[in-house]
Amino acid sequence: MANLRNEYPRPQLGREQWLNLNGEWNFAFDDNKTGLKEKWYDSFPAETKINVPFVYQSKGSGIHDTSFHDVVWYHRSLSIPEEWEGKSVILHFGAVDYRAWVYVNGQLVTFHEGGHTPFHADITHVLSEKENSLVVRVEDPSEDETIPRGKQYWKEESDYIFYTRTTGIWQTVWLEPVSENRIDSLRWTPQLDRGDIDLEMELTNQAEQELSVQVSISFKGKEVISDTVSVHESYIKRSYNIRNRFTSRSNVHGEGWYWTPETPNLFDVELKLLSGSQEVLDHITSYFGMRKISIENGQILLNNFPYYQKLILDQGYFPEGLLTAPSDDAHKQDIVLAKEMGFNGARKHQKVEDPRYLYWADKLGFLVWGEMANASEYSEEAARRMNDEWIQVVNRDYNHPSLVAWVPLNESWGIPLVGLDQQQQAHALSMYYLTKSLDTTRPVFSNEGWEHVISDICGIHNYRSAEELKKTYQSVETAINTRVSKRKIYANGYQYNNEPIMVTEYGGIAYDKENEEQEKGWGYTDVGTGEALIEEYKKQTEAIMNSEIIQGFCYTQLTDVEQEINGLLTYDRKPKCDLTLIKEINDQK
């Protein structure tokens, strides 16, 4: 049986008390869509068992059925710990793909649309003192190409660059007890040039009591900030100067306390919400990093210094769990392996990653580009779905210092006519400006890869040979005027405006270490040995690194995925070549 994923699922806003609901649930397919009519939320037909949070298509679920089942149901019993008496009980879902109706004791407590973002419900009012029934109904229309699904294929058999679908619960389900008066959300914004950290809090103060918040910020075990804030309204904003706590001359440029991939310094935070009588109503743990990502004069800067990004494309798929990592350590190990190869970051491709991955990126020092899973076709409904879910993505992941760029759209997916069509151009522009309205601190792409409208970085995808890469990136003019995959770099009506240029997909060199005959796998080019893989990687990567106009790259890709065999690692994370030699190549820049 796969790991039950017992780690705390929300690392940026932690509470000590919580109850993990992962594990064995009852499960049923509803291919005839009779569940609502027959009131399965009251009387569940226990057809089979499933191991949550692994979807039925995965091995980890215990079912491993990859055929179409567009409606599925889950059920389990739950009991509330006695020590939670007097508290409100919140039911959390990390992610359910794609639409979810949640029932507790036969009553609908919440509905959520969007396969990649968390949601919750206060279920206190429907709980009984004894055993409770939790039922989840899920709809995931397998063939609807206007749903943001990323690499999940709308056909039954995986093919080309598309993989097995994810239907239903695929991240942790959990309960937590809270007070009516509590901290609902946190937002950390480092202001590096001032040396400040901005803290924003949203509070629930239902009883309108006299409240205060104690703030304690520590660095490497030593408290550097202590403050008490009186609560006069639900929204609180405070700014704390960090720089003044570090007076050593060696810290003039923040080497000792800035966050970078080389020095992933984090500040630990404790927040206590207190009543007028000093009773602790809520106790939160969090953290932040002092990091600035910016663009000035056509250069990408990290903490005000030029920084060359050496990224690896990472799909975030696993043989046991598909989109669900088999364990928390699997997230960590993907980052460790990438760093061992000399990469300083990853572009999480067509997947909104589990917050636990971002936690390990924060802790280990690894840049991450946050990307939305796209639809394949455009419609007004697709635009609405994308807009609604993307807002949730940006808000969920805003606090992570490792996250340094936003990619709402990739390669004209969901906007196939964006090169010419003004409506689809407007959608790409709207996603760019929407993201900027939610987050002023990170670069944003309008359409990563080609056919940009307005983007902060000019990202180009190019899977041509090393010689062609060398010729293409001799100058800005050749870079932006060379078509890739028959697409122009800028959509009609838009042009290059001194944005930093990066080659954000290249390589894709196929080598099937498990099957030397290369009969089953797919890639952009292929080689027959690990040594040949290193040699070809060296040629292509050096062609990019030697260009004076390119400010970083993203190699395709970290691991094989199902039929794709163009990873530097196999699907089960075994090296295909000597990883130290990949590092030697990457370390040249």
* One-letter-per-residue 3-state SS of 465-477: CHHHHHHHCCCHH
Reading the block at residue 540, the tokens are 């292509």
Whichever domain contains 114, its CATH number is 2.60.120.260
Nearest 5°: the CA angle 214, 400, 60 is 115
Pair (326, 241) in one structural domain: no
H helix and E strand count, the chain: 8, 31
Whichever domain contains 318, its CATH number is 3.20.20.80
User: Is residue 114 domain-resident?
Assistant: yes
Nearest 5°: the CA angle 389, 391, 395 is 120
User: Is residue 7 domain-resident?
Assistant: no
Where a domain ends, among 139, 171, 203?
171
Dist. CA 54–CA 57, nearest whole Å: 8
Tell me the C-alpha to C-alpha distance, in Å, between residue 570 and each of 71, 342, 452, 576, 580.
Answer: 33, 18, 33, 7, 16
Dist. CA 46–CA 560, nearest whole Å: 36
Q: What is the pLDDT along the chain (589 residues), one digit of tens a residue?
A: 456 788 999 999 999 999 999 999 999 999 999 999 999 999 999 789 999 999 999 999 999 999 999 999 999 999 999 999 999 999 999 999 999 999 999 999 999 999 999 999 999 999 998 899 999 999 999 999 999 999 999 999 999 899 999 999 999 999 999 999 999 999 999 999 999 999 999 999 766 678 999 999 999 999 999 999 999 889 999 999 998 887 654 444 455 899 999 999 999 999 999 998 999 999 999 999 999 999 999 999 999 999 999 999 999 999 999 999 999 999 999 999 999 999 999 999 999 999 999 999 999 999 999 999 999 999 999 999 999 999 999 999 999 999 999 999 999 999 999 999 999 999 999 999 999 999 999 999 999 999 999 999 999 999 999 999 999 999 999 999 999 989 999 999 999 999 999 999 999 999 987 775 545 677 888 999 999 999 999 999 999 999 999 999 999 999 999 999 999 999 999 999 999 999 999 999 9
User: Is residue 8 domain-resident?
Assistant: no
User: Is residue 6 domain-resident?
Assistant: no
User: Is residue 16 domain-resident?
Assistant: no
The residue range of the domain holding 497 is 293-586
Pair (302, 280) in one structural domain: no
Count Cβ atoms below 10 Å from residue 440 Cβ, excluding itself: 9
Dist. CA 578–CA 557, nearest whole Å: 16
| β-pair type (299-302, 293-296) | antiparallel
Dist. CA 581–CA 129, nearest whole Å: 61
Pair (104, 124) in one structural domain: yes
290 three-state secondary structure: strand
Q: How high is the pLDDT of residue 107? A: 98
Sheet-wide strand order for 305-306? 293-296, 299-302, 305-306
Pair (313, 257) in one structural domain: no
Pair (337, 375) in one structural domain: yes
Strand partners, 89: 177
Where a domain ends, among 269, 288, 307?
288
Pair (408, 302) in one structural domain: yes
Q: Using alpha carbons, select from 148, 149, 78, 134 the residue that is nearest to residue 102.
A: 134
Whichever domain contains 218, its CATH number is 2.60.40.10
Pair (494, 445) in one structural domain: yes
Dist. CA 352–CA 377, nearest whole Å: 19
Q: How high is the pLDDT of residue 249? A: 42
Dist. CA 402–CA 18, nearest whole Å: 26
Pair (153, 49) in one structural domain: yes
* Number of domains within the chain: 3
Q: Do the Cβ atoms of 450 and 428 come closer than 8 Å?
A: no
Dist. CA 404–CA 401, nearest whole Å: 7
- Name the DSSP class of 446: S
Q: How high is the pLDDT of residue 520? A: 65
Q: How high is the pLDDT of residue 494? A: 97
Specify the amino acid at residue 564. E
Q: How high is the pLDDT of residue 252? A: 42
Q: Using alpha carbons, select from 22, 396, 14 the residue that is nearest to residue 178.
A: 14
Pair (197, 244) in one structural domain: yes
460 three-state secondary structure: strand
User: Is residue 18 domain-resident?
Assistant: no
In sequence order, what E strands does 168-296 have?
A: 168-169, 173-178, 181-191, 196-205, 211-219, 222-231, 235-241, 267-275, 280-288, 293-296
Pair (307, 277) in one structural domain: no
User: Is residue 153 domain-resident?
Assistant: yes
Pair (264, 367) in one structural domain: no
